[in-house]
């Protein structure tokens, strides 16, 4: 039985991925911080082996277990006032500490949840791309096999309220009088959470088939949609009375105007995006509407 070590498993993507992996024929180890809340995983905790980074350290995990694959999902976005050093510690130093241990395991594969953003878009994207540089270095030295996932904007029910999709959906459901937005000309690739998870599961199977070296996979729907189009669609699907105030917010510095995944590598592995944008939004809206207690509307 293969053993998978997951960091960031208590986050949104992590809990959805774990919910699928625990029913597969894998031994699952969760590496978490002592401050991480386990409530989202309460129904599957008995199927996990859990280590605290601060209490147990990373070396102990590798000494006590033969790790076949590491899935690194933990990230700090810098949206909550974290300092540059805190972003670097979370996005570079921590995963490098894991990589150092994984590099001593024969044929271990490190799967990194990266970003499709240009490295100079933000401190977050720069730190994530710098980790990929290290992954390339280790793989070129023959010490580690490294797969980088260039994640697009995944979304779904009960996601962080700080995410764009959650913001526009909740604003419309609550009929917020004015919803300040940019002009919405920028294009983004949105992928429903279930499709993100299914893509990672397929990549995992690929990783177990004696994968060697470095590889990148785009993980998205493969379709770019204008922000204004998705906002208008959410507004329509929710039947909202909100006024979408386009142009009230300036584009951020280094705003990427076009992001679209190339899913050809995933398609070759047999992956299919199962939810269109509208279907995914309807599922998300219905769940959020139920959370608000007006699911009958």
Q: Is residue 171 part of a domain?
A: no
How confident is the model at residue 239, as a pLDDT? 98
Distance CA 142, CA 106 (A): 10
Does the pLDDT of residue 58 top 50, yes or no?
yes
Read off the pLDDT of residues 111-170 as tens digits, 9 standing for 90 and up.
999 999 999 999 999 999 999 999 999 999 988 999 999 999 999 999 999 899 999 999
Distance CA 133, CA 139 (A): 10
Q: Is residue 9 part of a domain?
A: yes
Please give the C-alpha separations between residue 250 and each of 182, 247, 254, 271, in angstroms, as whole numbers.
6, 7, 12, 37
Q: Is residue 258 part of a domain?
A: no
How confident is the model at residue 145, as a pLDDT? 95
Which strand (E) or helix (H) includes residue 100?
Answer: helix 94-102
- Number of structural domains (the chain) is 1
Mean pLDDT of all residues in 22-37: 94
What is the pLDDT confidence band of residue 294, given thresholds at 50, 70 and 90? low
Q: Is residue 276 part of a domain?
A: no
Strands 187-188, 225-226: pairing kind: antiparallel
The CATH number covering residue 82 comes to: 3.40.50.720
What is the pLDDT confidence band of residue 281, given thresholds at 50, 70 and 90? very high
Q: Is residue 18 part of a domain?
A: yes
Read off the pLDDT of residues 207-259 as tens digits, 9 standing for 90 and up.
998 778 999 999 999 999 999 999 999 999 999 999 999 999 999 999 999 99
Please tell me which residue in 124, 155, 192, 206 is annotated as part of the active site.
124
Does the pLDDT of residue 296 top 60, yes or no?
no
Mark whether 155 is an active-site residue. Answer: no
Q: Is residue 40 part of a domain?
A: yes
Read off the pLDDT of residues 180-211 as tens digits, 9 standing for 90 and up.
999 999 999 999 999 999 999 999 999 998 77
Q: How many CB atoms lie within 10 A of CB 45?
A: 13
Q: Is residue 144 part of a domain?
A: yes
Q: Is residue 168 part of a domain?
A: no
Residue 76: domain span: 1-151
Which strand (E) or helix (H) includes residue 26?
Answer: strand 26-32
Distance CA 270, CA 276 (A): 17
Does the pLDDT of residue 297 top 50, yes or no?
no
| pTM for the predicted model, two decimal places | 0.95
């Amino acid at each position: 039985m293969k053993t998978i070590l997951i960091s960031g498993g208590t986050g949104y993507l992590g809990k959805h991925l774990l919910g699928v992996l625990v029913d597969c024929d894998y031994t699952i180890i969760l590496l978490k911080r002592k401050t991480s809340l386990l409530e989202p995983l309460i129904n599957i905790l008995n199927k996990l082996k859990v280590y605290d980074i601060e209490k147990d350290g990373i070396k102990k995990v590798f000494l006590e277990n033969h790790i076949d694959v590491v899935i690194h999902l933990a990230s700090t976005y810098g949206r909550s006032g974290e300092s540059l050093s805190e972003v670097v510690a979370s996005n570079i130093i921590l995963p490098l500490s894991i990589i150092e241990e994984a590099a001593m395991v024969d044929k271990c594969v490190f799967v990194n949840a990266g970003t499709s953003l240009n490295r100079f878009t933000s401190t977050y994207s720069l730190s994530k791309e710098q980790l990929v540089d290290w992954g390339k270095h280790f793989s070129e030295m023959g010490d580690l096999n490294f797969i980088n996932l260039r994640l697009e904007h995944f979304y779904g029910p009960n996601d962080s309220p700080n995410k764009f999709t959650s913001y526009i959906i909740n604003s419309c459901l609550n009929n917020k009088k004015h919803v300040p937005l940019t002009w919405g000309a920028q294009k983004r690739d949105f992928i429903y959470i279930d499709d993100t998870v299914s893509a990672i599961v397929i990549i995992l199977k690929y990783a177990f088939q004696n994968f060697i070296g470095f590889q990148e996979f785009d993980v998205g729907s493969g379709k770019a949609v204008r922000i204004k189009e998705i906002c208008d669609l959410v507004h329509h699907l929710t039947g909202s009375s909100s006024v979408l105030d386009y142009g009230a917010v300036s584009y951020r510095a280094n705003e990427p105007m076009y992001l679209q995944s190339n899913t050809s590598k995933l398609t070759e592995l047999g992956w299919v995006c199962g939810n269109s944008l509208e279907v995914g939004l309807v599922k998300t809206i219905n769940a959020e509407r139920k959370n608000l207690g007006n699911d009958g509307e």
